[in-house]
């Protein structure tokens, strides 16, 4: 029950979102609006508050280095598979790789760490690494598809921190932490209220997306049916691969690196493997929605990895605790 209790709020909010979408409580544009709200306002506020209070020095711990290596290696595998096996475009490859490697270190990792490890410091350090290094990389890869000429691409990359609220808020939070600034309560309070809506809005939009239905194929009957069947098969295979990367490969890789390369054991080893085994963060779905990419892949990976990780995290805890 210690691991399960961390999942209950996630499933509850997602289920309410599904019900709202199923019975059309908020209208047909609600999912899009909620996703944009989370991406443009709520998530930036949450990231700014988290990073402004964080200690960047926490990233130098050996356990965080192992976790970072597992994320980067699986991210690279996801990008390679997306290009050479599933033939995805660059932006969709980035979302697929994110779905296979980016862990839910904040709204799930922190409560699970508190229940299992008795301390959330490692989950916070993991979230800090992902926010500072992985998120900008994913957003740059997605944004590259928007500009075609080399000059346009360079300008888009250089202006990305100004155009993207996630990166801008993260950079501002790191600056506040580095300068050790104390922000007044009049500034913190509204940002905190706005940031508190990030996780519920993202999960609610995720739940609403479960009611999406794919329309029938159009065009020549034989060609369309064959192409649709091929796409369906590739989609299912890609989901299975990404969920396997997230729930099996990444924690095993983290264990191998921590145990046999860094010589970690006991509580430190459990913290690394448990954090690496966390399911895909709903950020992947929100990013796909914001950039008008295939949200089905990210949505299904988030849900399936979250469902399976209830068992895998319990097994990790039983074996290593």
- 144: how many CB neighbours lie within 10 A of its CB? 17
- For the segment 256-264, the average pLDDT, to the nearest whole number, is 95
Domain membership flag for residue 223: no
Domain membership flag for residue 251: yes
Angle, CA of 270, 94 and 170, to the nearest 5°: 70
Report the pLDDT value the prediction gives residue 149, as an integer from 0 to 100. 45
What's the pLDDT band for 170 if we cut at 50, 70, 90? Answer: confident
**β-sheet bridge partners, residue 296:** none
Tokens (6 digits) for 302: 């988030």
How many Å apart are CA 96 and CA 82, to the nearest integer?
7
User: Which candidate, 270, 302, 269, places its Cα nearest to that of 284?
Assistant: 302
Report the pLDDT value the prediction gives residue 144, as an integer from 0 to 100. 77
Q: Which is more confident, 170 or 7?
A: 170
pLDDT in tens, 83-129: 999 999 999 999 999 999 999 887 678 778 867 887 777 888 898 89
Report the pLDDT value the prediction gives residue 216, as an integer from 0 to 100. 38
Q: How many domains does the chain have?
A: 1
- For the segment 270-297, the average pLDDT, to the nearest whole number, is 91
- For the segment 169-193, the average pLDDT, to the nearest whole number, is 89
**β-sheet bridge partners, residue 280:** 103
- Model's pTM, two decimal places? 0.79
User: Which candidate, 187, 15, 203, places its Cα nearest to that of 104?
Assistant: 203
pLDDT in tens, 242-254: 999 999 999 999 9
Residue 181: C-alpha distances to residues 52, 137, 176, 177, 309 (Å): 8, 27, 5, 7, 38
**β-sheet bridge partners, residue 103:** 280
Domain membership flag for residue 267: yes
Residue-number span of the structural domain to which 10 is assigned: 4-209+245-320
Residue 294 maps to which CATH number?
1.20.1530.20
Domain membership flag for residue 232: no
Please, what is the average pLDDT of the chain? Answer: 84
Domain membership flag for residue 233: no
Domain membership flag for residue 217: no
- 187: how many CB neighbours lie within 10 A of its CB? 9
Report the pLDDT value the prediction gives residue 63, as an integer from 0 to 100. 93
Q: How far is CA 48 from the centre of its chain?
A: 17
- Max avg pLDDT among 52-66, 144-158, 195-209: 195-209
Report the pLDDT value the prediction gives residue 162, as an integer from 0 to 100. 65
Domain membership flag for residue 230: no
Question: Left if phi > 0, otherwise alpha if psi is -120 to 50, otherwise beta: which for 104?
Answer: beta
């Amino acid at each position: 029950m210690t691991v399960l209790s961390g999942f209950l709020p996630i499933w509850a909010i997602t289920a309410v979102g599904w019900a709202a979408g199923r019975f059309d409580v908020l209208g047909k544009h609600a999912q899009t609006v909620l996703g944009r709200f989370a991406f443009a306002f709520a998530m930036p506020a949450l990231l700014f508050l988290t990073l402004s209070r964080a200690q960047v020095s926490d990233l130098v711990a050996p356990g965080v280095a192992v976790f970072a290596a597992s994320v980067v290696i699986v991210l690279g595998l996801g990008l390679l598979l997306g290009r050479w096996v599933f033939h995805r475009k660059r932006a969709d490859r980035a979302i697929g790789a994110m779905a296979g490697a980016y862990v839910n270190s904040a709204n799930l990792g922190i409560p699970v760490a508190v229940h299992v490890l008795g301390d959330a410091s490692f989950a916070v350090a993991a979230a800090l690494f992902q926010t500072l290094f992985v998120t900008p990389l994913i957003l740059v890869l997605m944004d590259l598809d928007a500009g075609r000429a080399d000059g346009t691409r360079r300008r888009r990359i250089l202006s990305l921190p100004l155009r993207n609220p996630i990166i801008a808020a993260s950079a501002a939070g790191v600056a506040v932490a580095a300068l050790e600034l104390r922000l007044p309560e009049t500034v913190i309070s509204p940002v905190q209220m706005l940031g508190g809506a990030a996780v519920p809005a993202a999960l609610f939009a995720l739940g609403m997306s479960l009611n999406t239905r794919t329309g029938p194929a159009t065009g020549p009957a034989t060609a369309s049916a064959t192409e649709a069947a091929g796409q369906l098969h590739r989609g299912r295979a890609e989901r299975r691969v990404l969920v396997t990367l997230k729930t099996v490969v990444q924690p095993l890789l983290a264990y191998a690196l921590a145990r046999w390369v860094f010589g970690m054991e006991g509580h430190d080893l459990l913290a690394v493997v448990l954090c690496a085994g966390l399911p895909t963060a709903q950020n992947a779905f929100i990013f796909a929605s914001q950039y008008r990419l295939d949200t089905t892949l990210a949505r299904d990976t988030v849900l399936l990895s979250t469902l399976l990780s209830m068992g895998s995290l319990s097994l990790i805890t039983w074996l290593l605790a």
